[in-house]
Amino acid sequence: MRGVYLPGGRRVDIRDVPDPEPGRGQVVVEMRASTICGSDLRAIYREHLGEGPEAYQDVIGGHEPCGQVVAVGAEVERIRVGDRVVVYHISGCGQCDECHRGYQISCTSPRRAAYGWQRDGGHADLLLAEERDLVPLPDSLTFLDGACVACGFATAYEALCRVAVQGGEQVLITGLGPVGLAAGMLASAMGSPWVVGTDPSPDRRALARDLGAVDVAVEGAADEGDDELHDLLGDGAEVTVDCSGAGVAQLTALRHTRRHGRCALVGEGGTLTVDVSEVLIHRQLTVHGSWVAPTWRMTELLERLARWDLHPERVVTDRFALADAARAYEVADGGARGKVGIVRD
């Protein structure tokens, strides 16, 4: 089979490798869709920056896989050949407290391995996965829907659940990349009547408006005063979510959170400098750091997406065959488009 490797320096290698064989508790999934995440670009594609959980170990890339099961190993009980599945992209030890709670993303064991980072991921014809890492994909959702949920939409949904967004509350999203688009779409589905987004890119602002992910999109600013956000949100939004990973946008989210409001920080990276007394304590904000989602939350989201008839693949602006993976990463790295997907030829 073919597999995509990311040696750094914005290079992409496609190699022929042996087809995987399932061992005990394992399955082989035929890849139907595998999308590109911003963390792949930040910590692997451009240069190998990561350490620990983000250390890339020269494996097949792609941590947002979705496909159909074609083979199962011994002692596989829940999954059958033919099942449509989303792959939860962290394979934890299954024994630590975090794994018991479904947060394999926070697994504390040295055996923790992320698909596409420390073990082979979804940019391939076939993927070897642990049965425990698979989440059923409802029939009404597409494989590309499932790939979008594998990381980006699940991350956005977990953040909105952490801040307990309620019907009638205004929501501010800073950063309108794929995760920001997901957060806006989900906030509306969860009852927010007014979603405002910020992003310095006019292309991304236009895309967010065109997709209906936000009601209005502006450039945004961290300064206090009568800026565009003050005009749109008044005293601020009850709920804010930063999906940019940029310090200036994180500060924008905090400054435009209403008193007693809730803010979730989702975007990776960035350095935030904030006057704690003025911005956080005196305004009595609740701030959450939110990292991906537990498996049970991903299952819940997939069920709700089917119920809402909401298709995450709407945020995918560009689709490429596996053979064109280099071009797919180049487009994703440009930062002006929505989600980029590698789909079955």
Which tens digit of pLDDT belongs to each residue from 205-248?
Answer: 999 999 999 999 999 865 555 478 989 999 999 999 999 999 99
Contacts of 209 (CB under 8 A, 6+ apart): 216, 217
Report the pLDDT averaged over residues 14-40: 97
Record the tokens describing residue 25, joined without a space: 């508790």
Q: What is the pLDDT of residue 223?
A: 58
Which tens digit of pLDDT belongs to each residue from 297-306?
Answer: 999 999 999 9
Which tens digit of pLDDT belongs to each residue from 82-117?
Answer: 999 999 999 999 999 999 999 999 998 999 999 999
What's the 3-state SS for 2-25? EEEEEEECCEEEEEECCCCCCCCC
Q: In whole numbers, what is the pLDDT of the chain averaged over residues? A: 95
CB 260 within 8 A of CB 284: yes
Residue 270, pLDDT above cutoff 90: no
Which tens digit of pLDDT belongs to each residue from 154-192?
Answer: 999 999 999 999 999 999 999 999 999 999 999 999 999
For residue 12, give the amino acid letter: V
**pTM for this model (two decimals):** 0.95
3-state secondary structure of 91: strand
Measured CA to CA in angstroms, residue 30 lies from 22, 37, 83, 85, 143 at distances of: 13, 20, 10, 10, 11
Q: What is the pLDDT of residue 234?
A: 92
* Nearest alpha carbon to residue 242 among 179, 158, 191: 179
CA atoms of 50 and 47, how far apart (whole Å): 9
State the pairing for strand pair 237-242/257-265: parallel
Q: What is the pLDDT of residue 84?
A: 98
Domain annotation for the chain: domains and CATH numbers: 2-151+293-343 (3.90.180.10), 154-289 (3.40.50.720)
Instruction: Return the residue matching tokens 């590698």.
Output: 342
Record the tokens describing residue 37, joined without a space: 């995440």
Report the pLDDT averaged over residues 112-124: 97
Give me the half-sphere count of Cα atoms (radius 13 Å) on the Cβ side of residue 216.
12
Record the tokens describing residue 31, joined without a space: 């890849």
